[in-house]
Amino acid sequence: MTAARYAKAGYDVRRQGVRPEKGRLVGYTSAEEHSCIARTFDMLGLGLDGLRSIPVDDGYRMDIEALRQAITDDIAAGHRPFCVVGSPATVNTGAIDDMEAISRIAQEFDLWFHVDGAFGAVAALNEGLKHKFKGIERAGSIAFDFHKWMHVNYDAGFVLIRREDIHREAFTLRREYLTAAPRGLAAGNPWFCEYGPELSRGFRALKVWFHLKEHGIKAITDKVADNCDQALYLGELGKARPELELSTLVTLNSCCFRYVAPDMTDTALNRINEEIVMDLQESGIAAPSTTKLQGKLAIRVNITNHRTTKADRDVLVDEVLKLGNGMTAD
The CATH number assigned to the domain holding 308 equals 3.90.1150.170
Together in a domain, 165 and 253: no
Q: Assign 219 to helix, strand or coil.
A: helix
* Alpha-carbon distances of 239 from 57, 272, 298, 317, rounded to whole Å: 22, 19, 15, 11
The CATH number assigned to the domain holding 168 equals 3.40.640.10
Q: What are phi and psi of 158, to 5 degrees?
A: -130, 155
Together in a domain, 135 and 236: no
Together in a domain, 111 and 226: no
What is the number of domains present in the chain?
Answer: 2
Bond preceding residue 318 cis, omega within 30 of 0: no
Together in a domain, 168 and 250: no
pTM: 0.91
Residues 210, 227: Cα–Cα separation, whole Å: 23
Together in a domain, 114 and 235: no
Residue 152 located in a structural domain: no
Nearest to 217 by CA among 149, 283, 303: 149
Residue 59 located in a structural domain: yes
pLDDT in single tens digits along all 330 residues of the chain? 788 887 888 888 887 878 777 788 999 999 999 889 999 999 888 988 999 999 999 999 999 999 999 999 999 999 999 999 999 999 899 999 999 999 999 999 999 999 999 888 999 999 999 999 999 999 999 999 988 888 898 888 899 999 999 999 999 888 888 888 889 988 887 888 889 988 888 888 999 999 999 999 999 999 999 999 999 999 999 999 999 999 999 999 999 999 999 999 999 999 999 999 999 999 999 999 999 999 999 999 999 999 999 999 999 999 999 999 999 986
Amino acid in position 76: A
Together in a domain, 62 and 193: yes
Together in a domain, 33 and 161: yes
Domain around 128: 2-145+157-203
Together in a domain, 92 and 127: yes
Residue 31 located in a structural domain: yes
Together in a domain, 93 and 167: yes
